[in-house]
Amino acid sequence: MSSKTIVITGASSGIGARLAELLAAEGHTLVLVARREPELHAVAGRCGPLALPVVADVTARTDIQRVVRSALERFGHIDVWVNNAGRGITRVPSELTDDDIDDMMRVNVKSVLYGTQEVLPHFKERGSGHVINVSSMLGRIPLAPFRSAYNGAKHFVNALTADFRNELRATHPGIRVSLVSPGVVRTAFGSNALHGGPDSRTLPNSQSVDEVAAVIARVVETREADVYTRPDGREMVLKYFSAEEPGA
């Protein structure tokens, strides 16, 4: 297994933090990105001297540009970019406001767009690279109405992933774009959602951060295009769309 330089957004807690620890243990060089400085530096400390923490807001393009510069200045190249940062919402669609939608698009969609766009020139110059977008099962099957605009944002992420993949396939076949779709994960995601909400750690049929991070770490190596972290994830999606009335 060759060592890679990997950027992870949303690395201060949850899936991003655990993924960083797993990849560090495998000998990879890391650039860890998040807004919360103390938490981010704590994760970097656990990952060792080859982990560079960069405090940044992934919803600001200029911050993402600074992350790319910092990574290249420190390590000379980037092999993998993991768009992991995101945030949920607890509000049914009939109650959504303009601000709700704007917030979900900014955090969940623009962060992915900015990250991918800003690292692409470097990947194109090298003729290789790998973007991994962390989506959600709700981006496939929107069965939680109280997540409303989050579901829509993750559908958008799925579309962007496919569009980037198709755009690059013809001109830069060495650049891969992967999508990973977790289900409910036992993190603070639910309690940190916009407008609060149920704690994800108390919901049924959840996965641990270890399980989900291990799947993403595998994708770093295999460069698979479309991966579900639940073993039955693909079957759940097929069942949903084969129903006469999906979601009924």
How many whole angstroms separate alpha carbon 106 and alpha carbon 140? 20
The edge-to-edge listing of strands for the beta sheet with 129-134 is 51-55, 29-34, 5-9, 80-83, 129-134, 175-181, 226-228
Q: Comparing C-alpha atoms, which of 201, 98, 196 is closest to residue 147?
A: 196
To which H or E segment does residue 129 belong?
A: strand 129-134
How many beta carbons lie within 10 A of that of residue 76, not counting itself?
9
Instruction: Tell me the C-alpha to C-alpha distance, in Å, between residue 20 and each of 55, 58, 83, 172, 243.
Output: 15, 17, 13, 27, 39
Q: Comparing C-alpha atoms, which of 121, 124, 147 is closest to residue 136?
A: 147
Active-site residues, by number, are: 150
Residue 241: both structure tokens together = 């769309």
